[in-house]
Amino acid sequence: MTEIIRVLIAKPGLDGHDRGAKVVARALRDAGMEVIYTGLRQTPAMVAEAALQEDVDVVGLSILSGAHMALVPRIMEELQQRGLADLPVFLGGIIPRDDVAALQALGVSAVFGPGTESQTIISYIQNAVRGDPA
């Protein structure tokens, strides 16, 4: 029997480049995870539906557009509607310090700024999946 960590890396919103998301996706693959990569311009419903169908253990969102405070609540709501309220969600991108607490209150379990070491994200995911408190 094999249990491999499955991660959804999604890029919601309208900003047009996904270099950062791809770098993270590859790093997670190289750490032995199965990474479902959905590409650009995902609506909140598309992110939640992909998380459901793929039965992922964790969701990573990459948001560079500054629209995180608009997008994240809608994504959390779509996840909740599908019974995925306790799925760990992490966020990567350029997130002002002041927004981090608000995002955590919405249920985001970690926020990673630009230049975060891959190993930090990998360790976070491994802990989140094992169910350790973040």
* Closer Cβ to other proteins, 1 or 98, answer by number: 1
CB atoms within 10 A of CB 80: 14
> Could you say whether residue 52 binds other proteins (CB under 8 A)?
yes
> Could you say whether residue 115 binds other proteins (CB under 8 A)?
no
Q: Which stretch binds other proteins (CB under 8 A): 50-58, 65-73, 91-99, 104-112?
A: 50-58
* Closer Cβ to other proteins, 31 or 69, answer by number: 31
> Could you say whether residue 16 binds other proteins (CB under 8 A)?
no
Six-digit token string for 119: 């190993």
Orientation angle between helical segments 118-130 and 19-30, nearest 10 degrees:
60
Element of type H or E holding 1: none
List 15, 36, 69, 80, residue binding other proteins (CB under 8 A): 36
C-alpha closest to that of 58 among 10, 18, 105: 10
List 53, 81, 119, 120, residue binding other proteins (CB under 8 A): 53
Separation of alpha carbons 109 and 132, rounded Å: 12
Element of type H or E holding 110: strand 110-112
Footprint of other proteins (CB under 8 A): 1-4, 6, 25-26, 28-39, 41-43, 45-46, 49-50, 52-55, 82-84, 86, 131
